[in-house]
């Protein structure tokens, strides 16, 4: 084959695009390194095991080393050896004995095998990282593979679901299908498995509009986990920013399989959003391995500490990517555009996004990264979600990202958990969160859709565990239960963990229905953690990052309780989809609607409007919301004015039943649409007239509807 023939011809090539680019006739190689003195491309056999040849890149343009090889072909395995100074005290860690990956590589062959030879210094040496290691590392490294990007998309288009209609589903490519009986066994845990008919059928029936996938960028298993026989399951340990993780591929072509998955999901109207990790890489701190950017130009690619020997670290992972540098920023931007334009994804959730917004250690809201994304003609049109915090000074930035960004809103999670576990003095917080968090997002003229609301996420308890455990139980992680956070705001409903007490079990199911109903009927964008619709448990583990097993994988065994909860969740997503009242594009303003209504009325149990003083009462746990359907501001996509039914939402987080008087507004009767005290969520009760009394069961929520007041026939 041509790819096995020796390279005899090298042309100057071009400095852009970066990486290895096949143009139909040959391959252009381009690598940025400001302080390098020489760059060699090392070619290997197809399996990446035996070195075949080294070719020096002949040209250097603006610190980009490049060359064009007309004899190179897709499928060739390669890596780089970069020559330069080894002066750690100045931040330089070049070592020509260490093979490094192309940061623009789109595919890899082989797996990393941990060895001391992967480190630029001699592990255990008395001088530590100031020593220099001369062992060759290529035998232990994955190799990059030249990719032919050709793929038949057949007119695939982004679904472009409006933010107001979006329902996010946070899931893991592998964990979603590993135990799914409807997915062919060879496809379980793969991109092809997620694209299977059984997977897509579940997503469509559930009513989600977008899957938010935990990291699919290629990543490394941490050495300490590998030595314990464990696996980094979540994948927040980036190795390559352009390549899909090979472990999730059934076929030998992860790139094509990933594209096929996106195409299948798009055909079902489901968007694909990637959880991306650009805040740090797998190389860790100054004692980490030399497998990529460290050996290409450590002083440029990583934020330096005050002492350049060390890395600045705002992530807790040992290093922070230096996006303040224009070429490093370009790397991130090129990666993002690649996933949109070449892989057709629909958006991104940025892990520890605050780190990317830092300049000179400080959060810069008008800094290079945020400005670059905002003006980019490709990225400014996709969904952008920030995890708005990191571990650095002033790292908590919830509500402070610029327009164009949505944010994970942990204040929503905490407020709702506090309310439903029965804490006092939180009804004000509950009201702010269920109405879209205008206190966080309204000041900058952002909309309720800036708030991504969630009750549970991959990092923490599942929804079932929130109502089943008071304390974390992370023993399986092998860290003596020290890992994971302790601020869970959970309540076990009377028994810790597994129990056969029927009263406890019934209360747990009711609490799960409360959480789900609150989530889907709140203003903002709901995000459901995969499996919460079926009561998935992790046995109280709130940090299952290394549990690539049944602890993390979805359990598809449909017990009566799980089937009932799934049906209830489907009912809620349909209610949200069918009624724009729960998908408002603007915040409530408290303004008058018609002669006697406001766009939102908060109610006491006696059916009267709440006063300002009553919001501060510690004992209050029962309240109602009146949402008049004629108060919807704005128009639909075709310019027609928006109207809806009237809705009345009643909440009782008290441990006793409460009688609630239906407010004396209008004459039309109310139908009970949802009552979480009933297993099915739909009680068999007659319509209620204004002024009637409805008994709200303890720790329950009810939803009533009727034709909008002001539009009813006299």
State how far the Cα of 430 lies from the Cα of 119, in Å rounded to an integer.
Answer: 51
Helix axes of 427-434 and 410-420: crossing angle, nearest 10 degrees: 130
**What string of DSSP letters covers 23-58?**
-SS-EEEEEE-SS-SEEEEEEE-TTS-SEEEEEE--
Q: Kindly give, in sequence order, each residue whose CB lies less than 8 Å from that of residue 84, ignoring residues fewer than 6 positions away.
A: 33, 35, 36, 37, 38, 92, 94, 297
Measured CA distances, 138 to 29, 74, 292, 457 (Å): 19, 21, 12, 38
Do 79 and 143 form a contact (C-beta atoms < 8 A)?
yes
State how far the Cα of 158 lies from the Cα of 175, in Å rounded to an integer.
Answer: 25
Q: Enumerate the active-site residues.
A: 351, 387
State how far the Cα of 601 lies from the Cα of 249, in Å rounded to an integer.
Answer: 52
State how far the Cα of 555 lies from the Cα of 179, in Å rounded to an integer.
Answer: 6
**Phi first, then psi: what are they for 323, rounded to 5°?**
-70, -5
For the sheet with 601-603, list strands across it.
Answer: 601-603, 622-627, 646-652, 700-706, 671-675
* Of residues 83, 106, 108, the one with CA closest to residue 93: 83
Do 657 and 696 form a contact (C-beta atoms < 8 A)?
yes
Alpha helices (H) in 243-352, listed in sequence order:
254-267, 293-301, 326-341
What are the structure tokens assigned to 257, written together? 């399989």
* Of residues 464, 466, 471, the one with CA closest to residue 413: 466
Q: What is the DSSP letter of 560?
A: H
Do 555 and 179 form a contact (C-beta atoms < 8 A)?
yes
Q: Kindly give, in sequence order, each residue whose CB lies less than 8 Å from that of residue 700, ignoring residues fewer than 6 positions away.
A: 510, 514, 652, 675, 676, 677
Measured CA distances, 240 to 103, 277, 278 (Å): 6, 10, 10
Length of the chain: 714
How many Cα atoms sit within 13 Å of 536 on the Cβ side? 26
State how far the Cα of 522 lies from the Cα of 23, in Å rounded to an integer.
Answer: 50
Do 356 and 369 form a contact (C-beta atoms < 8 A)?
yes
Sort 511 into a burial class: Cβ within 10 Å, 0-12 / 13-18 / 19+: buried
* Cis preceding linkage at 227, omega within 30: no
Residues linked to residue 109 through DSSP beta bridges, in sequence order: 143
């Amino acid at each position: 084959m041509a790819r096995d023939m020796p390279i005899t011809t090298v042309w100057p090539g071009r400095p852009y695009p970066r990486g290895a680019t096949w143009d139909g006739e040959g391959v252009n190689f381009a690598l940025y390194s400001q302080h390098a003195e020489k760059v060699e491309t090392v070619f290997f056999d197809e399996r990446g095991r035996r070195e075949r040849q080294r070719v020096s890149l002949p040209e250097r343009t603006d610190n980009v080393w490049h060359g064009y090889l007309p004899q190179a072909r897709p499928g060739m395995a390669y890596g780089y050896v970069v020559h330069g100074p080894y002066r750690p005290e100045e931040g330089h860690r070049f070592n020509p004995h260490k093979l490094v990956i192309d940061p623009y590589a789109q595919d890899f062959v082989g797996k990393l095998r941990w060895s001391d030879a992967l480190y630029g210094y001699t592990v255990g040496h008395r001088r530590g990282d100031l020593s220099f290691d001369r062992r060759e590392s290529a035998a232990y490294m994955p190799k990059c593979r030249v990719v032919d990007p050709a793929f038949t998309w057949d007119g695939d288009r982004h679904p472009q679901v409006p933010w107001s209609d979006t329902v996010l589903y946070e899931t893991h490519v592998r964990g979603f299908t590993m135990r799914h009986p409807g997915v062919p066994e060879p496809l379980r845990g793969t991109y092809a498995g997620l694209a299977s008919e059984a997977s897509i059928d579940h997503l469509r029936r559930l009513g989600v509009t977008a899957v938010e996938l935990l990291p699919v960028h290629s990543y490394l298993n941490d050495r300490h986990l590998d030595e314990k026989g464990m696996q980094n399951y979540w994948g927040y340990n980036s190795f390559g920013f352009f390549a899909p993780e090979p472990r999730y591929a059934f076929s030998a072509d992860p790139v094509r399989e990933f594209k096929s998955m996106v195409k299948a999901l798009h055909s079902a109207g489901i968007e694909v959003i990637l959880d991306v990790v650009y805040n740090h890489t797998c190389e860790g701190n100054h004692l980490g391995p030399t497998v990529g950017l460290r050996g290409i130009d450590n002083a440029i690619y990583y934020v330096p500490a005050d002492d350049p020997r060390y890395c600045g670290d705002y992530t807790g992972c040992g290093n922070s990517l230096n996006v303040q540098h224009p070429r490093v920023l370009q790397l991130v931007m090129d990666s993002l555009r690649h996933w949109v334009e070449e892989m057709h994804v629909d958006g991104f959730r940025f892990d520890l996004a605050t780190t990317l917004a830092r300049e000179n250690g400080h959060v810069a809201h008008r800094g290079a990264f945020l400005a670059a994304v905002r003006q980019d003609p490709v990225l400014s049109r996709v969904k952008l979600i920030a995890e708005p915090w990191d571990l650095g000074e002033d790292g908590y930035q919830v509500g402070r990202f610029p327009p164009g960004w949505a944010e994970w809103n942990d204040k929503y999670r905490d407020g709702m958990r506090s309310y439903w576990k029965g804490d006092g003095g939180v009804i004000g917080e509950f009201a702010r969160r269920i109405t879209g968090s205008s206190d966080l997002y309204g000041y900058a003229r952002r909309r309720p859709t800036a708030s991504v609301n969630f009750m549970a996420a991959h990092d923490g308890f599942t929804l079932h565990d929130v109502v089943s455990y008071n304390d974390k139980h992370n023993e399986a992680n092998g860290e003596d239960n020290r890992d994971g956070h302790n601020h869970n705001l959970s309540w076990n409903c009377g028994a810790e963990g597994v129990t056969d007490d029927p009263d406890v079990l019934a209360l747990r199911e009711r609490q799960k229905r409360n959480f789900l109903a609150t989530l889907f009927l709140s203003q903002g964008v709901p995000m459901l953690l995969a499996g919460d619709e079926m009561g998935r448990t992790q046995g109280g583990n709130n940090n299952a990052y290394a549990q690539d097993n049944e602890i993390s994988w979805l359990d598809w065994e449909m017990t009566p309780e799980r089937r009932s909860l799934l049906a209830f969740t489907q009912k809620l997503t349909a209610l949200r989809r069918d009624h724009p009242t729960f998908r408002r594009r603007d915040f409530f303003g408290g303004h008058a609607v018609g002669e006697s209504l406001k766009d939102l009325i908060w109610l006491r149990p006696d059916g009267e409007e709440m006063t300002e003083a009553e919001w501060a009462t510690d004992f209050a746990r029962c309240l109602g919301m009146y949402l008049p359907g004629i108060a919807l501001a704005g128009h639909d996509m075709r310019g027609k004015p928006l109207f809806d039914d009237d809705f009345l939402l009643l909440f009782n987080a008290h441990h006793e039943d409460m009688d609630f008087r239906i407010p004396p507004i209008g004459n039309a009767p109310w139908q009970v649409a949802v009552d979480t005290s009933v297993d099915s969520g739909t009680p068999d009760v007659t319509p209620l007239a204004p002024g009637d009394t409805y008994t709200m069961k303890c720790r329950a929520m009810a939803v009533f509807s009727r034709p909008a007041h002001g539009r009813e026939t006299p």
